[in-house]
Copies of this chain bind each other. A is one copy, B any other.
Amino acid sequence: MDIQLDRTSRIPIYLQILNRFREMIISGAMPEGALLPPERQLAQELGLNRSTVLSAYRELKKEGLVEARVGRGTTVLPLPSQERSDTENATLSWRHIFRTDTARSQSPLLRDLLALSERKDVIPMSLGLPAPELLPVDLFQQIQTDLARELGPTLLQHSPTEGVTELRETLCDLAAERGISCDPTETLILSGSQQGLDLASRVFIEPGDTVIVEEPTFFAALQTFNAHQARLIGVPCDQDGMRTDLLAEILERRHPKFIYTLPTFQNPSGSVMSLTRRKELLQLAYRYQVPIIEDDPYCDLRYEGDSVPSLKSLDQRGLVLYLSTMSKVLFPGLRVGWLLAPREVIRRFTLVKQSMDLHCNTPGQWVINTMLRDGHYQTHLNKVRRAYACRRDIMADALRKDAPSGFEWTKPKGGFYFWCRLPDEVERSQLLAESAAAGVSFLPGWPCFVDDPGCTYLRLNFSFAGKRAVETGVARLLEALHHSCRKQSISAREAGGTPPIV
């Protein structure tokens, strides 16, 4: 097998193997049905650890280029385009049957970042996950055991589409702590707040409708609104949040379906909308009769300063839909988020949710209910707040010490992220490649904008990796940054091409 490795390259060996196979498959040098060498044999041939070859093969499988079957080894699959032309009569042309808008703007970025976060050699600063080692797994287990005893089969049967009644009641208490007055009929339990974004899109957006977002904003929200064929208008933000002075004219001209905002510890910028701006935003929404979707995953994760009232708590006219989630403080894997909204909105969302998935996982809702009701949420919150504040300070120190001139950032007062603007001479795609090679990931800024901002941003997470990893991660990133300035990009490319970010 003709695989030349460059052991001096910054490109990891497994990526070099992956790239070589991909080339051979796409060029046709390895046609459909061709057998790849057994992993063990190739590892021996190249003098590598078997796990390195395994990693390359795994990525090939993920890309749908090869398949492995027990007893048959790893073989090359037909390329999608060949599948269409060669076997027209035998198989369907799925691509022609799919709705075209289901491919629209749904880049696999999020999925790839999740996959990258599983690679042991990469310090993940790309995602928005809580620290795994702080998750109270034993407590979860204890509560689940108690619930099974107390509830029996009810714990595992169907539950109402709107959510388990007890949890809906408990969430009203949590809302009250956030200054929001509501009753259980104004709540809806969601399979993560992501489902709230999807539901809002389904209920409100007709193709071509205008939706207003902050710029930058949560990239998965942009993907979801785009998938429903919204026309997105971005309103710039500064350190006080959305520029409400620019909003009136847009509302006047465009009659949007809703305004989407993350006023508190915004994702990705970390900014907090000032109280004045919040009031201005509400007044504008009232005047133009536009609903606001307030996405508030991070409000409890404040590390300094006083909290600012949520839009929902300031809203006098029932025009704010308030989304929040358990995934940033407790267990993202349980998929428990919720919506607070006027009763009429809850009823409509419930009808649509019912046809989507009937209801959310039942035991997950009961566990969250107990954790909130019995004070475990608050106890855990105090613990993670201390830990994350510390990680944030470490990241700030590391950036302050070593970031090059032109690298701009602000230290957030809460939430999960540093938002950084890079010097103009940095080559974006090169930085992604160099960082993956150096063993660190980040979220590039461009998916957070409606239109390309023209300069380079990145979002760094400090909650997921441990204290030392945060320090090392920043060091690796700054090293990769150093290699990614435009003047150096030509020589870097010669060293072996740009590896894909997977």
Contacts and interface: CB of A to CB of B under 8 A. Distances in A.
Contacts of A91: 317-319, 342
Contacts of A137: 148, 152-153, 155-156
A411 interface: no
A80 interface: yes
A300 interface: no
A332 B92 contact: no
29 contacts: A67-B183, A67-B185, A77-B343, A80-B344, A83-B344, A90-B317, A92-B289, A92-B318, A94-B342, A94-B344, A94-B348, A97-B291, A99-B203, A99-B206, A102-B352, A103-B348, A111-B350, A138-B148, A140-B148, A140-B156, A141-B144, A156-B333, A158-B333, A192-B357, A194-B355, A195-B357, A227-B352, A334-B363, A356-B356
A132 interface: yes
A145 interface: yes
Interface residues on A, range: 35 or more
A271 interface: no
A487 to B, nearest CB: 38
Interface string A356-400: 111111111000000000000000000000000000000000000
A233 to B, nearest CB: 17
A427 interface: no
Contacts of A68: 183
B135 A99 contact: no
A226 to B, nearest CB: 9
Contacts of A257: 97
Contact of A335 (B80, B90, B129, B359): B359
Interface in A71-114: 77, 80, 83, 90-92, 94-95, 97-99, 102-103, 106, 108, 110-111, 114
Nearest to A80: B344
Given A185-B64, A354-B111, A361 B345 contact: no
Interface in A169-220: 183, 185, 191-192, 194-195, 197-198, 202-206, 220
Contacts of A160: 111, 114-115
Nearest to A359: B335
A332 B69 contact: no
A52 interface: no
Interface of A: 61, 64, 67-69, 77, 80, 83, 90-92, 94-95, 97-99, 102-103, 106, 108, 110-111, 114-115, 129, 132-133, 135, 137-138, 140-141, 144-145, 148, 152-161, 183, 185, 191-192, 194-195, 197-198, 202-206, 220, 223-224, 227, 257, 289, 291, 317-319, 331-335, 342-345, 347-348, 350-352, 354-364
Contacts of A153: 132-133, 135, 137
Contacts of A350: 111
Contact of A356 (B69, B95, B158, B195): B195
Contact of A145 (B141, B202, B317, B333): B141
Given A224-B355, A355-B224, A157 B135 contact: yes
Contact of A203 (B92, B102, B108, B145): B102
